[in-house]
Structure formats: C-alpha cells, structure tokens
Amino acid sequence: MSAVTFEQVSKQFRTSRGVLQALDQVSFTIEPGEFFGLLGPNGAGKTTLISILAGLSRPSTGRVTVAGVDVHAQPLQARRRLGVVPQELVFDPFFTVREALRFQSGYFGLPRNDDWIDELLAGLGLRDKADTNMRQLSGGMKRRVMVAQALVHRPPVIVLDEPTAGVDVELRQSLWAFIAQLNRQGSTVLLTTHYLEEAEALCTRIAMLRAGRVVALERTAALLQRFSAHVVRFKTDQALPPALAARARVTGRIAQIKVHDALEVEQVLATLRQAGVVLEDVEVHKADLEDVFLELMAQRRQEAVA
C-alpha cells in the first residue's frame, strides 16, 4: 500500500478574470519510507497540492489517500497519519513550548506523551526553551516548535512545506539531521523546497510541477543522469558576448554556461577571450539539480509558447 496517492487531482479557482487552473490532472504515488521531493517555481501548484493532502482544501476532481485512507471521505483518520509543517509561522502566544506540545498531543488523544515530547525537544535543539513562552522565541525557534508540533503524534507521513525558508544554517542542519533519522526509522517524508541542493542531497525521488502539471517524475539519480551535461562557471564584471549571454545563467558576478564536451568548453573560453572578457575562478562541474530544474522549466515554457 502506498503512503500517499494523488489520483487525477485537479483544482480550479474562480477569479475576477475567470477560472484559474491551479492543478491539472496530477497523479503520482509516494511509497512507504520514501524521502520524496516536490519541486516547482512559485505558482506551480505545490502549496495547493499540500493543502489538499492536509484536508484544508478540496480538489475539484480527483482523489487523495494517505495509507489507503481517503483524505476527504475519512478526514480524521487521514489526519492522524499526517504531520504537516506549513510555510507560515502559526503559534499560540499564551503557552510555553512544552505546554504547546502537550496541547497538540491532547488533540490526538495522547495525554501522556512527555517522553516523546522530551525526545522532540532534544532532537530539535529546544530543550533549553521548553519553559519559554512562545512569543519570546526567535523566528527560527518558532519554526522548530512547529516541526515538533507536526511530529508530536508520531505520524507515519511527514509533510514539510518550505520548512527552512528564511532560517539560519544551524537550524537547517539540525532539522535535516533529525528528519533524516526519522526517515531511516521508517517515516515517509514529502518535502517542498526552493533550496534545490537540499532536495538533491535528501530526496530519493522527485516530482517537478509547472503550471499545475507534473513535468518530471523520476528518481533523483536518474534525473541528474538524463541531464548529464557539464557547466562552465566563472566570475566576471563584464558583459558577455551576445551569443553566450543568450544561453548563460547569470547571478550577480557569477555566470554559468552549459556545455556537453571538452571541445565546447574550449569554444566557450575562446569566445570569451576574443571578446576581452576577464574571468575569475573558472571551473567546470557536472550539472546539478538546479541546472536540471531550470532546463526543464525552460523547455516547458517553450512548449507552452509553441
């Protein structure tokens, strides 16, 4: 039995301009114990899909199940199987951290849950904040408490919607160490993130969404192998020649140009040299998940225009 199943899920919203198709016949499954990544640009439909999975929104058509339980036909049973960490910081300012976790436990009928709460506090670096009022915590600490609240009833499926957005490096490392440990112990994890290096390092399989449709669904290693080009990366303060500028990805002083073989590397460097472009820190590396993601999104844009 699959941990999570999306079957032909579509979602439309009515707006002043007509009907917005947020999701269009989305179908895929997540197997028990899998660490699964859901990627896509802003507006691709990721959060809409997570909201439907969590029972916060109903699909226009289609069906979603968690461990065989229909999310909308049996919402309470499905919710017990899910631990959802949303993007937004939501907290009760009147409770301490421990009190908030005890109340959350009570919602799931777990009045004696302090041993697991203590383990969550230790694993998420919250032990010294257990008796601190929630409103006194930093944004990163509040994010840790939200993760603890999502895990307090020991759900078999953990859903993380941009869990490390805007948080410091220490929290990202400690959070992933703890979540990876739970995954090794059998928990299924569904992750949405804009940090593609996180998805590449953590996820065994990835689905990519664009405009509400699945445009890629493969094991991470296979996806990287299918786009097995290399990238020439360098820094410069000068404008690139038009022929290279059209195919380069530029971020500040850093430019990256995809190449397929050593001859093409030489051609790129020769073109830059002839144009008088001064380079720093030149390196050639294999394409990573960010390169794959950008190429897939560009292909879909071209198909949509055509």
pLDDT of residue 158: 95
Answer for the pair 242, 235: CB distance below 8 angstroms, yes or no. no
Of the listed ranges 30-34, 165-169, 255-259, the one predicted with least confidence: 165-169
| Sequence ranges of the domains in the chain | 4-224, 229-286
Q: What is the mean pLDDT of the chain?
A: 87
Question: CATH assignment of 229-286, given 3.30.450, 3.30.1920, 2.60.40, 3.30.70?
Answer: 3.30.70
pLDDT of residue 96: 93
Structure tokens at 131: 């008796």
Answer for the pair 3, 68: CB distance below 8 angstroms, yes or no. no
- Does residue 46 carry a pLDDT above 70? yes
pLDDT of residue 302: 59
pLDDT of residue 291: 72
- Rounded to a whole number, what is the distance in angstroms from the first to the last CA of the chain? 40
Per-residue pLDDT of 1-15, as tens digits, reads: 899 999 999 999 887
With bands split at pLDDT 50, 70 and 90, how would you rate the model's confidence at 306? low
Task: Compute, in degrees rounded to 10, the torsion defined by CA atoms 21, 23, 27, 32.
Answer: -170
Describe the strand order of the beta sheet including 4-15 as a list of residue ranges. 18-30, 4-15, 61-66, 69-70
Per-residue pLDDT of 202-233, as tens digits, reads: 999 999 888 899 988 989 888 777 665 788 99
pLDDT of residue 300: 59
Per-residue pLDDT of 77-94, as tens digits, reads: 999 999 998 887 777 788
pLDDT of residue 269: 93
| Other CB atoms within 10 A of residue 260 CB | 10
Pairing of strands 205-210, 35-39: parallel
pLDDT of residue 304: 56
pLDDT of residue 151: 94
With bands split at pLDDT 50, 70 and 90, how would you rate the model's confidence at 197? confident
Per-residue pLDDT of 235-283, as tens digits, reads: 999 999 998 988 888 888 999 888 877 888 999 999 999 999 999 999 8
Residue type at 203? C
Per-residue pLDDT of 293-302, as tens digits, reads: 777 776 656 5
pLDDT of residue 303: 58
- Assigned CATH for 4-224: 3.40.50.300
